[in-house]
């Protein structure tokens, strides 16, 4: 197993331009009259052009679930190494893979993923120590005393093997029931050890590897509902009693039956307000085209709006290897081409595709760039300006998503035509009339925002047509 000193965490610092904006915001809010400011460039011509690099500029990681048996496939590995800076083993660190027989630990396949990631400086999320599924039958057959000892031994052995090298561990996965009951899910752990098994698992985990962030991970907890309320109450109880817990993972498997909830950001925020990190741990969204892209962009923007949302992991790389392949829920198609969802994620992260990159032809965002400046700022608002510049080819139209942070509201838009998402905080701006631009030529639009002089809006990638 390759060991590597923990790399400088992406989440470590405020980017220099962020601090500058914060400082200027504080000064100018004190002024009662409108004050013209020197333009503050917030996206540059050198914006990051991969998911990992763009996320790192926002102080986050961007990860993927990886399967050991795909690591021999060149385009899979190229895409992984180029785009992602965090990795989760899709199955290889689960109990049935690591301890198929009591006391026999098999780490080689998990280590393949771990070594690949750590030797390239990527973070590793550990998934998962205590879960009712992918659990070998010998565990379910144990009596209470033996089960307690097997659970604690499993946690200790696995965490010790990777001690100091795992960024976050999903200590307990999916311990709550679906539906409105808010009850614990029935499992060997629940039925034999009772409610206390979760607390016991977290305490054992802290002792085994004090450097790892300890997470509770679940699905259908992405919005405010009975299940997420039950998890919330548990986390609140843990933090108030000093039970070690550092983060909550939101799996975020979405489809038409389980769409991205409108209160996703608010739900992440209420957990963060308990004093834990939140992470989006298994993101995939069934669908295609612009609708899927919009959903992905909204998820990323929700995470960015929550300071303690420290990173996002998508649950696979190309659609064909997704656990739900018919739903084409991922960011890359079967040939590893970037889907519109990819561009939406990169744009939401503040990155941009390179218009001159021959490997990246014709993707939305490739034909133009969007550059944001705050033109004027006053106590309770500001004027923003977005400059649109065509790439090396002429374009006939463009669009850009601009996201405001509540309670900010856009009062007016000039030289551009906005449409609003249902939540009312994302406007998609297109040309008011003729959107044609010659190669390299620029145009722009402006808007007035009330409801706070900061933070500035998030401006996505420019999409050319
Ligand atoms: C899934 C894997 O993607 C599949 O390959 C496997 O057959 C079943 O498990 N919640 C979790 C993940 O926490 O571990 C699951 O992963 C998806 C749902």
What averages of pLDDT result for each successive group of 10 residues across the chain (465 residues)? Answer: 52 33 39 40 64 97 98 98 98 98 98 98 98 98 98 98 98 96 97 98 98 98 98 98 98 97 97 98 97 96 97 98 98 97 96 59 57 86 90 85 90 92 86 88 92 87 83
Secondary structure of residue 312 in the 3-state scheme: strand
Q: Yes or no: say if 248 and 208 are a contact pair by the CB < 8 Å rule.
A: no
The pLDDT score that the predictor gives to residue 2 is 67
Is the minimum distance from the CB of 251 to ligand 1 under 6 angstroms? yes
Contact 235, 216 (CB under 8 A): yes
Instruction: Answer yes or no: is the C-beta of 313 below 6 A from any ligand 1 atom.
Output: no
Distance CA 431, CA 429 (A): 7
Which of 338, 396, 331, 337 has its CA nearest to residue 368? 396
H/E run at residue 426: strand 426-430
| Per-residue b or e along 167-193, where b marks 16 or more CB atoms closer than 10 Å to that residue's CB | bbbbbbbbbbbeeeebebeebbbbebb
CA of 88 to the centre of ligand 1 (A): 11
Q: Which of 255, 315, 325 to mutate to test the pocket of ligand 1 (most atoms within 8 A of CB)?
A: 315
User: Quick one: which atom of ligand 1 is closest to the CA of 94?
Assistant: 14
In angstroms, what is the span from residue 331 Cα to ligand 1's centroid? 18
Ligand 1 pocket, residue 170 CB under 6 Å: no
Report whether residue 86 contacts ligand 1, using a CB cutoff of 6 Å. no
Cβ count within 10 A of residue 290: 14
* Rounded Cα–Cα distance for residues 370 and 391 (Å): 11
* Neighbour count for residue 19 (Cβ, 10 Å): 11
Q: How far apart are CA 200 and CA 186, in angstroms?
A: 17
345: which 2 tokens? 């994620």
Q: In this structure, how many other beta carbons lie within 10 angstroms of the beta carbon of residue 362?
A: 9
Give the residue among 378, 383, 399 at the shortest CA–CA distance from 446: 383
Answer for the pair 313, 63: CB distance below 8 angstroms, yes or no.
yes
8 A C-beta contact, residue 463 and residue 342: no
Q: Candidates 133, 284, 286: which one to mutate for ligand 1, based on the most atoms within 8 Å of Cβ? A: 133
Instruction: State both tokens at 24.
Output: 């200027």
Write down the pLDDT at residue 62: 98
Q: Evaluate: CB of 91 within 6 angstroms of ligand 1.
A: yes
Residue 323 Cβ inside 6 Å of ligand 1? The answer reads yes
C-alpha gyration radius of the chain: 23
Identify the CA nearest to 47 among candidates 459, 464, 465.
459
The residues with which 445 forms a beta bridge, in sequence order, are 386
1 Cα–ligand 1 center, Å: 24
Instruction: Tell me which of 323, 324, 327, 329 to substitute to probe ligand 1's pocket, judged by most ligand atoms within 8 Å of the beta carbon.
Output: 323
Q: What does the alpha-carbon distance between residue 119 and residue 110 come to, in Å, rounded to a whole number?
A: 14
Provide the CA 3 distance to its chain's centre, in angstroms. Answer: 26
Atom of ligand 1 nearest to the CA of 127: 14
Q: Is 297 exposed, middle or buried (0-12, 13-18, 19+ CB in 10 A)?
A: buried
Q: Which two tokens stand for residue 218?
A: 């679940």
Which amino acid residue places its CA nearest to atom 16 of ligand 1?
A: 90
For ligand 1, the distance from its centroid to the CA atom of residue 138, given in whole angstroms, is: 21
What is the reported pLDDT for 455? 86
Among 248, 278, 268, which residue's Cα sits nearest to residue 170?
248
């Amino acid at each position: 197993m390759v060991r590597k000193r923990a790399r400088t965490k992406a989440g470590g610092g405020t980017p220099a331009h962020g601090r500058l904006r914060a400082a200027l915001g504080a000064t100018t809010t004190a002024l009662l009259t409108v004050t013209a400011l020197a333009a503050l460039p917030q996206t540059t011509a050198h914006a990051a052009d991969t998911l990992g690099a763009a996320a790192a500029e926002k102080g986050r990681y961007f990860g993927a679930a990886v399967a050991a048996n795909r690591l021999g496939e060149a385009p899979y590995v190229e895409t992984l190494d180029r785009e992602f800076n965090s990795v989760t083993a899709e199955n290889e660190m689960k109990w049935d893979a690591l301890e198929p027989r009591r006391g026999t630990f098999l780490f080689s396949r998990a280590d393949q993923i771990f070594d690949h990631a750590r030797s390239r400086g990527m973070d590793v999320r550990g998934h998962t120590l205590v879960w009712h599924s992918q659990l070998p039958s010998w565990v379910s057959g144990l009596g209470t005393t033996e089960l307690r000892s097997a659970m604690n031994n499993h946690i200790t052995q696995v965490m010790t093997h990777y001690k100091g090298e795992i960024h976050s561990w999903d200590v307990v996965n999916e311990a709550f029931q679906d539906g409105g009951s808010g009850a614990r899910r029935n499992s060997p752990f629940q039925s034999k050890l009772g409610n206390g098994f979760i607390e016991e698992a977290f305490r054992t985990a802290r002792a085994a590897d004090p450097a790892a962030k300890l997470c509770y991970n679940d699905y259908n907890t992405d919005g405010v509902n009975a299940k997420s309320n039950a998890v919330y109450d548990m986390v609140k109880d843990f933090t108030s009693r000093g039970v070690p817990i550092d983060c909550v993972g939101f799996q975020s498997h979405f489809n038409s039956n389980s769409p991205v909830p409108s209160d996703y950001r608010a739900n992440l925020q209420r957990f963060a307000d308990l004093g834990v990190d939140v992470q989006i741990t298994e993101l995939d969204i069934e669908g295609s085209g612009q609708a899927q892209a919009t959903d992905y962009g909204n998820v990323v923007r929700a995470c960015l709006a929550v300071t303690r949302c420290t990173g996002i992991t998508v649950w696979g790389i190309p659609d064909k290897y997704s656990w739900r392949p018919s739903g084409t829920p991922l960011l890359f198609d079967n040939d590893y081409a970037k889907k519109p969802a990819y561009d939406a994620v990169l744009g939401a992260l503040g990155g941009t595709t390179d218009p001159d990159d021959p490997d990246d032809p014709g993707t939305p965002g490739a034909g133009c760039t969007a550059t944001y400046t705050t033109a004027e700022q006053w106590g309770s608002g500001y004027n923003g300006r977005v400059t649109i510049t065509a790439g090396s080819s002429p374009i006939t139209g463009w669009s850009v998503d601009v996201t405001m942070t509540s309670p900010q509201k856009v009062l007016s838009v000039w030289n551009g035509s906005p449409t609003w998402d249902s939540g009312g905080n994302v406007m998609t701006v297109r040309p008011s009339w003729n959107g044609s631009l010659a190669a390299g030529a620029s145009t722009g639009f402006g808007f007035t925002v009330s409801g706070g002089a900061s933070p500035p809006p998030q401006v996505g990638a420019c999409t050319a047509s």
